[in-house]
Structure 1
Amino acid sequence: MSPSYLRIGGTAGDYMIFNKTHHQRTSPNHPTYPLKVADWDNLNHLVMYAGLDLIFDFSVLLRKNGHWDPTNARELLEYTVKQGYKPAGYELGNEPNYFHGAVSEKQLAKDFAAFKNIVSSSGVPPFLTIGPDVGGMVPGSRAQTYLKNFLEAGGGDVVDVVTVHQYYTHCQNLTVKDFTDRKLLDTLIPEVDSFVKICNKKAPNKQCWLGETSSCSPSGAQHISDRYVAGFLWLDKLGLSALHGLQGVLRQEFYGSYYGLIDINLNPNPDYWLTLIYKRLVGSPVFDVTQTTDPNVRVYAHCTNVSSSIGYKPGSITVYFYKPGSITVYFILQ
């Protein structure tokens, strides 16, 4: 999969504590997850050996007097520098719009500014500041308002990459047919368009990523998200994201759950192979080859990735298309 980012984050990230400070707690009603020194060592060795770039999400719920408490982060950063580890990016918090007012947009922007300053002063190599990882970007939603307010309050000046999370729907009662439903696939378009518009207006010249995304939440649909049919949603999301102006898509998740690229026994699921083929063939820029004859047919085209081991020459084009259902469709490529 190299080159790729491997993100360690999610809901549990806001309850994770580097184990040198056992006394810290994020919430009296929620267990904390210890990040042991050995775990951090193994993780950094893994990404180095695999040629991946690590993104790590610090807990924003470690707080003191209404502000983010950097004590635990400093300890982890000091150890990281001492060991010579080089994570590519850092996040602060996961889906803060779901904190029920615990961290306002304005306060989060201040926390991010303090966070970036602390990471920069720790002596780590150059890094990306990534966030705010807002969840549920349906047009007109509270999530959109939270993102706008965060960027306007100074967050847009602090982050290098603006991120939101996206899932098509909740997994409950989803069927195989839903995974090839054009209407469900098309729900992504207004979400991406509104996100890119906000990002470009409030944080110009910053990258816009889907910082966490998959088929449905939570954990995917059993016996569907880990099967061949899930590829329709995944391939279309990759195509639409590129076509509508996103620079990055982080898949949730690599290991485990029903929507994992590999299962708990380390066996690749179909989306793993689809992702691998996509990374080896698809490059940039992307071309607008949208067709209107049949809305069920999805067509995407890019310059081919000539830097992969396959050996395509500059000027090569990669086209991918599909049509759910049993009707035969003929394509003439000119």
Structure 2
Amino acid sequence: MVRLGGILQDLVVYDVGDHLSSEPCTPFVYNETSFLSFDGGCLGMERWDALNQFFMKRGVSVAFGLNALYGRPKSEEVKHITTPWNPSNTENFIRYTRDRAYPVIAWELGNELFGDSVIGTRVPAALYAADVKKLRDIVDKLYQDEASKPSVVAPDMMKFAPSLSQSELAIFMDTLGDGVVDAVTRHIYNLGIGLYGADHMINDIRDPVVAAAEEENYKTLQSLLKEYPKTSAWVGEAGGSAIGGMEGVTDVFISAFWYLDQLGTAAKYDNQAFCRESFVGVHYALVDLDFNPNPDYYGY
């Protein structure tokens, strides 16, 4: 399975059907003063068709990250979203995808907008649950005649901390009930962003105390989801060190020890998917730009 998504997915407009005049379908343009440092963001259907031809030829299934901020204010000043999600553009996109039998096996709503958000903008738990219910209704309606339908996945949360994310997640799940969301997904970058250098990060990879701290998060999520047997846990994104990884750590063999520990822990606590960040590019890619494998590939 390949996950398509990430921090910019909540800016992307799908160039299909009608979409809001306030959400023009224009290419990404870097602008450091804009929300997430980009203006625009458009996925044309010609490109979507080409991607899916590639996936189908190689037997790849896809988990696609949807824009959860469509029709909502987007700026660095907006810290708490209070307006509802507009699902119209998403519904048209999912219908287009379904009609062509493209291999999307999961629709994920939003990226790091929940709990202890690192991008600043947050969607409160009850409102996020209402958004997910809209997506569930769309998937159930559009795939009602299909032999199987894609999973609905959310909230791709970051920094699972009992002081905030745990309580938020409990509200989220209590509002949804069991089976509305098929998988709860979170991101793991427990090695931080390398503020103290490569040697410090390498020591953290080998430190059982660091590993045990992350294991507590797995355990907490498993405990919560016991109340919701139709909902599984996913690791939706993981790379050890956030924001591109660290050269000389997450792109060399030592990174395999981090991945092996996380893969084993994820399996121990019944996680059904583990999405490596990323396939290509930056310092935690599975392969480099010349498609040479990262040395930790052999552990993964």
> What's the TM-score once normalised by structure 2's chain length?
0.82
Per-residue Cα deviation, 1:66-107 (whole angstroms, up to 9, x for no partner): 211112112212321332313101011112222656421111
DSSP 3-state at the match of 2:284: coil
Aligned to 1:207: 232
Q: In the alignment, does 2:35 pair up with 1:9?
A: no
Matched residues in 1 for 2:234 and 2:98: separation?
27
DSSP 3-state at the match of 2:289: coil
From 265, 269, 272, give the equivalent of 2:297: 272
Aligned to 1:185: 211
Matched residues in 2 for 1:198 and 1:144: separation?
9
Aligned to 2:28: none
From 95, 106, 130, give the equivalent of 1:78: 95
Higher alpha-carbon Rg: 1
Which deviates more, 124-133 or 52-61? 124-133
Matched residues in 2 for 1:111 and 1:198: separation?
21
Q: In the alignment, does 2:139 pair up with 1:131?
A: no
Which deviates more, 157-166 or 6-15? 157-166
Q: In the alignment, does 2:216 pair up with 1:194?
A: no
DSSP 3-state at the match of 2:250: coil
Structure 1 residues 84 and 204, CA gap change in structure 2 (3 angstroms): closer
Percent of residue pairs bearing the same amino acid type: 26
Aligned to 1:106: 126
Unaligned runs of 5+ in 1: 276-334
User: Larger % of strand: which?
Assistant: 1
Aligned to 1:168: 190
Residues 113, 123 of structure 2: 8 Å contact kept: yes
Q: Which amino acid aligns with 1:50?
A: R
Structure 1 residues 156 and 9, CA gap change in structure 2 (3 angstroms): farther
Structure 1 residues 159 and 274, CA gap change in structure 2 (3 angstroms): same
From 50, 55, 72, give the equivalent of 1:47: 55
Matched residues in 1 for 2:170 and 2:283: separation?
33
Deviation of the 1:254 alpha carbon: 1.4
Q: In the alignment, does 2:270 pair up with 1:245?
A: yes
Matched residues in 1 for 2:20 and 2:296: separation?
38
Q: Which amino acid aligns with 1:6?
A: V
Deviation of the 1:127 alpha carbon: 0.9
Deviation of the 1:217 alpha carbon: 0.7
Deviation of the 1:24 alpha carbon: 4.3
Q: In the alignment, does 2:86 pair up with 1:90?
A: no
From 59, 64, 67, give the equivalent of 1:56: 64
Q: Which amino acid aligns with 1:25?
A: E
Structure 1 residues 217 and 100, CA gap change in structure 2 (3 angstroms): closer
Residues 160, 166 of structure 2: 8 Å contact kept: yes
Matched residues in 1 for 2:178 and 2:282: separation?
33
Unaligned runs of 5+ in 2: 25-32, 73-81
Matched residues in 2 for 1:216 and 1:7: separation?
19
Residues 191, 205 of structure 2: 8 Å contact kept: no
Q: In the alignment, does 2:33 pair up with 1:25?
A: no
Residues 60, 103 of structure 2: 8 Å contact kept: no
Q: Which amino acid aligns with 1:60?
A: A
Residues 20, 71 of structure 2: 8 Å contact kept: no
Which deviates more, 215-224 or 60-69? 60-69
Structure 1 residues 101 and 152, CA gap change in structure 2 (3 angstroms): farther
Q: CA RMSD in A?
A: 2.3
Matched residues in 1 for 2:180 and 2:293: separation?
37
Matched residues in 1 for 2:291 and 2:188: separation?
25
Matched residues in 1 for 2:297 and 2:164: separation?
33
Structure 1 residues 205 and 121, CA gap change in structure 2 (3 angstroms): closer
Deviation of the 1:193 alpha carbon: 0.6
Structure with higher RCO (Cα < 8 A, 6+ apart): 2
Residues 161, 207 of structure 1: 8 Å contact kept: yes
